[in-house]
Structure 1
Amino acid sequence: MRKFMVAALFAAMISSQVSAQDSAPEKYANWTERDWSEAARTDVLAAYREFVENHPGVYDLANPGFLKQLGEARSAGLAAAKKAEDQSGYALALASFSSILSDGHAQAQAFSPPVPSDAPRYWPGFVALWRGDRLIASTPDRNEMLNGSEITECDGMLIKEFLTDRLLVRNFRPNEAGQWWVRPSQLFYSIGELSSSHPRKCTFSLADGEKMTQALDWSAATKEQRDFYGESVFPAAEPTILSEPRDGIFVIGLGDFDPGDDLRTQYAALYSAVERRREELLRARAVVMDMRGNNGGSSEWSRRLASILWGESALQSRSHQSEAIDWRTSPDTIEYLEEAETEFRENGELEIADWLSATTESMTAAHNAGKPLWRETQEQAPVETGGEAPTPTDFTVPVYVINWGLCASACLDANDVFTRFANTKLIGAPTSADSTYMEVRTVPLPAGPGQLVIPNKVYVGRPRAWGEFYEPDIMMDQVDWSTDAFLDRIETDLVAG
């Protein structure tokens, strides 16, 4: 097994650690009376120190401004910490630190106060959906006056200014187009009590051009209303199977690249079905890759599918891999990988465990020699086409890849793979982006209810640049993001094509 593949599998096994937690663990449940300003100051300084001691960017030759950026993050965090009077102020200080780094793989995250599982969910009677360059109100009853109206201002601020300001504490990254397509909706929905970030009064531009400003009528949402919110904001991909919902149009559900045991079994069955029916797919009107809801995991799931569809030689001839991977050889990183080795060995994943053992041995030797980075290279050099024509493929039917706004990490890797082929079009929303810093671990903060997310390695010479995202060839700027709506747009494109 190639080292890069081992690293991808390793990433899939541990990626669940990096997701931001909605509420604090039980040990933080009684944290109400604290000097929040001092806690924020302590944790911002701890975040700066941990990043200096462990982040690979400190020694990344491709990013010579990283230390300066890290210093600016510390300054922003400390400035916010001075004003912190409560837990929300503490959270804002950590978010201010993270906002300067603008990297989902490098963050200081505050836990929210614990919320009972049966706490009410509040909403203002509509879902706010970003589409294109507008925030649209959508209601369950299509005949309601606000349905389809544009939200132009809230609490005295123009909508883009309002969203950028209020979403800061939620680690919103406004420079990534895809973030706009999902994150604004969070301000118009609340679990438990409303916070100061939720809007109280907004201006709507109605269908007839009239503008109307009104106070929002927040109320507890019913189950049906909660379902409406979830289905509108977080549309789920089709199941992880090969289906044919319309004659000659096949859909492959790829909603999760961080699967548990059950989903791994489904992927095995999916690959088997695609291999078995490949001749049928060669004659299809279109094949749709549905990645709605996909936040990443391991890139091997999409690469395996591409190999089956287009052919391994065709895929390899279009490969543009990173030159290498540099791991930060800090003692904390090495200890983390040693713990991972133990876990993999106990679970019977001996090949990965052996690779981790050799890796940590090499990293330790590099650290003892005073080298802050250890380079992992492929045992087999990346394929270089040298200007030669890529290997042809017989899979030339139109392929449509459905993206959503929070597509990141291995979901972006899937786009890297699928778009190597000329028969691929992207449809949906712009994606989010990532840096070249990967393989994260989490570290609890010393003073307050929060944690750090710290990457352990950096891709060297990755073709997709730091912060680069994918724009759709076909933008789904309508409110309806159902599977039928996507298939309608795809059929229209097929006819036009």
Structure 2
Amino acid sequence: MPLPFLRIRCAALLLSALAAQAGAADKTAADWQAAARADIEAVHQLILTAHPGSIDELNPGFKDWTERGYREALQQVARVDSYDSMMAASRYYVTGFLDGHLVYSDNARGKDPIVVNGWKLRRQGGAYVVQGQLKDWPAPLPPFGARLLQCDGRSMEAILAEDVAPYYDRRNFGGTHEILPELLFAPAMADLKLKRCQFRTAEGAELDMPITYQAIAMQRYFARDSWSDAPQKTQTRRSNQFSFQDGVLWVSAASFNSLPSKEQIAAFETMLAELSKVEGARLIVFDARGNGGGSSAIGSKIFDAATGGLDYDKHGVDQLPRTYAQWRVSDVLLANLEKFSKEFASRYGEDSQQARSTRTFLKQVQDAKAAGQPWVEQPAGHLVTRADIAKRGGKLRRHQGAVALLTDAACASACLDFADLVLSVPGAVHIGRATSADSVYIDTGRATLPSGNVLVLPQKVWRNRLRGNNETLTPSIALKADMADDAAVRAEALSALAPIMKPRLQASP
């Protein structure tokens, strides 16, 4: 089922902030506070009745935050005076679960103005660099390329940790650190506005500037011609495709959309058929940049088409620990399964494997609810580690050259499942940037809140998963190239992989 990726997730939350104060013109602070309280209470009830964590005996910390975080979020309500701060109070509760699949989304937007500071910030290396300015701003703005040093006597790290992360993403890993500076443009709460900041220009001069905020139309913020931006490289929109050149099979696994259109399904099947015919590759690079997740089945199909699949000695595997998932039986799960059952039947056909398996699982959940059972188990084989596969003579059925996985910070959910699969190939090399991370709670459903906004929440918990809870995958070869620059990434990747390819190729028959 579709899941949000860190950048996608943060983009959705960014939109939430940009849509802040929608409808505020005819509402008082008391109205917004009542709306915030209603949403927080509804989220609390959904956590208790539909989230697997609330009945997970192996995770007592989840239950602690369920109640402690609820109380803390209610304490935020006194600060609420707008749509923006209403959302911030609810998100304060949600982000405390440290789960990228648990998201308070924005589905109740209006047309009221938003309050922003007029400039964009981006993290580059260890610095925070100004990368854009709104045109016609009524006050001086920090120049392009200037590094933000501190504001109001506080370090950037403190500001991001205390004023931004609690309302967007509290998880402590690289992808989050990249995104949070981009969210500094609009304060989550009115009392979090910056007053004075110090910058260092590209020429080395230090600037001390007051920070001004202005209400602008949301359309102005999103309009490309509203901004004076620092020069940016054009980013190619990637899709599931491949190229085969000079013995290198470059497979872009950019989208695992679980509800594609019929046209997209047909194009994907054609791509798989063509990919399965490629022979003689000296190197396969699985490029997962920009992939925020979706359906793991799509990644498996791409991998199998390119390689023929992974084979190893399975004797005694049944003696290894079982891997399985437990689905939390709830009305939310039932409603989402009914939706997916209809969607799959419409897209793939009533008799398709996708539609039939969803109907079968829906019946299991219905029966479990009728019997008062809290869980429905999903068997997933046994826990076979990468070391186990290597010891068992793991090899690809249709490829004998080198294998590499290329990721960026966007890789989450089903993309991480794909990464696990590729890296299970003995000798596979991970390049690029560190991935995002998943908790053991996964496969999301959706529930509408009193405000009209939506809570996206996990519906199952993994047991004995290969990857740990909120574990990122860090490449053995880090690339310095801009991950949005396809040509630069390809050139650096192939240069880095050249010495790794050579011994593999010499050993190949």
Q: Scaled by the length of structure 2, what TM-score is found?
A: 0.77
Residue in structure 1 matched with residue 52 of structure 2 by the alignment: 56
Alignment of 1:290 onto 2:287: yes
CA distance in 2, matches of 1:112, 1:168: 22
Q: Which of residues 30, 34, 40 in structure 2 aligns to 1:38?
A: 34
Local SS of the residue matching 2:496: helix
Residue in structure 1 matched with residue 364 of structure 2 by the alignment: 362
The amino acid across from 1:257 in the alignment is: F
Local SS of the residue matching 1:101: coil
The amino acid across from 1:40 in the alignment is: A
Q: Which moved more, 1:392-401 or 1:87-96?
A: 392-401
CA distance in 2, matches of 1:236, 1:61: 46
CA distance in 2, matches of 1:368, 1:120: 47
Local SS of the residue matching 1:180: helix
CA distance in 2, matches of 1:256, 1:241: 10
Alignment of 1:333 onto 2:330: no
Residue in structure 2 matched with residue 134 of structure 1 by the alignment: 127
Contact 2:447–2:456 (Cα < 8 Å) also in 1: yes
The amino acid across from 2:366 in the alignment is: T
The amino acid across from 2:329 in the alignment is: T
Q: Which moved more, 1:219-228 or 1:82-91?
A: 219-228
CA displacement at 1:91 relative to structure 2: 1.4
1:169-208 equivalence runs, <5 A: 170-188=167-185, 201-206=196-201
Local SS of the residue matching 2:445: strand
Residue in structure 2 matched with residue 213 of structure 1 by the alignment: 208
Contact 1:131–1:478 (Cα < 8 Å) also in 2: no
Q: Which of residues 398, 401, 406 in structure 2 aligns to 1:402?
A: 406
Cα distance, 1:199–1:263 mapped onto 2, change above 3 Å: farther
1:198-277 equivalence runs, <5 A: 201-206=196-201, 210-215=205-210, 223=224, 235-236=235-236, 238-244=238-244, 247-258=246-257, 259-277=260-278
Contact 1:316–1:383 (Cα < 8 Å) also in 2: no
Cα distance, 1:173–1:112 mapped onto 2, change above 3 Å: farther
Contact 1:148–1:207 (Cα < 8 Å) also in 2: yes
Q: Which moved more, 1:353-362 or 1:250-259?
A: 353-362
1:345-360 equivalence runs, <5 A: 345=345, 348-350=349-351, 351-360=353-362
CA displacement at 1:209 relative to structure 2: 5.2
The amino acid across from 1:73 in the alignment is: G
Contact 2:96–2:166 (Cα < 8 Å) also in 1: no
Counting matched residue pairs gives 466
Cα distance, 1:474–1:262 mapped onto 2, change above 3 Å: farther
Q: 1:273-324, CA deviations, whole angstroms, 9 ceiling, x for partnerless residues?
A: 3222232x2x3xx433332221111112222222233332437969999712
CA distance in 1, matches of 2:104, 2:80: 16
The amino acid across from 1:266 in the alignment is: A
Cα distance, 1:227–1:494 mapped onto 2, change above 3 Å: farther
Q: Which of residues 83, 90, 97 in structure 2 aligns to 1:87?
A: 83
The amino acid across from 2:255 in the alignment is: D
Alignment of 1:430 onto 2:429: no
Local SS of the residue matching 1:377: strand
Residue in structure 1 matched with residue 417 of structure 2 by the alignment: 413
CA displacement at 1:464 relative to structure 2: 0.8
CA displacement at 1:198 relative to structure 2: 7.2
CA distance in 1, matches of 2:146, 2:479: 17
Cα distance, 1:120–1:165 mapped onto 2, change above 3 Å: closer
CA distance in 2, matches of 1:59, 1:121: 40
CA displacement at 1:327 relative to structure 2: 1.4
Contact 2:296–2:418 (Cα < 8 Å) also in 1: yes
Local SS of the residue matching 1:464: coil
Residue in structure 2 matched with residue 70 of structure 1 by the alignment: 66
Q: Which of residues 459, 462, 483 in structure 1 aligns to 2:462?
A: 459
What do you get for the CA RMSD once the two structures are aligned? 4.2
Cα distance, 1:186–1:254 mapped onto 2, change above 3 Å: farther
The amino acid across from 1:278 in the alignment is: E
The amino acid across from 2:207 in the alignment is: M
**Structure 1: gaps spanning 5 or more residues:** 1-10
Cα distance, 1:423–1:202 mapped onto 2, change above 3 Å: farther
Contact 1:255–1:290 (Cα < 8 Å) also in 2: yes
Q: Which moved more, 1:65-74 or 1:384-393?
A: 384-393
Q: Which of residues 104, 112, 128 in structure 2 aligns to 1:108?
A: 104
Contact 2:402–2:427 (Cα < 8 Å) also in 1: yes
CA displacement at 1:261 relative to structure 2: 3.5
Cα distance, 1:346–1:267 mapped onto 2, change above 3 Å: closer
The amino acid across from 1:251 in the alignment is: W
Local SS of the residue matching 2:395: coil
Residue in structure 1 matched with residue 164 of structure 2 by the alignment: 167
Local SS of the residue matching 2:466: coil
Residue in structure 2 matched with residue 5 of structure 1 by the alignment: none
1:307-326 equivalence runs, <5 A: 307-314=304-311, 323-326=323-326
CA distance in 2, matches of 1:203, 1:339: 51
The amino acid across from 1:459 in the alignment is: W
Cα distance, 1:433–1:112 mapped onto 2, change above 3 Å: farther
CA displacement at 1:129 relative to structure 2: 2.7
Cα distance, 1:207–1:224 mapped onto 2, change above 3 Å: same
**Structure 2: gaps spanning 5 or more residues:** 134-141, 501-509
CA distance in 1, matches of 2:481, 2:210: 26
Contact 2:4–2:292 (Cα < 8 Å) also in 1: no
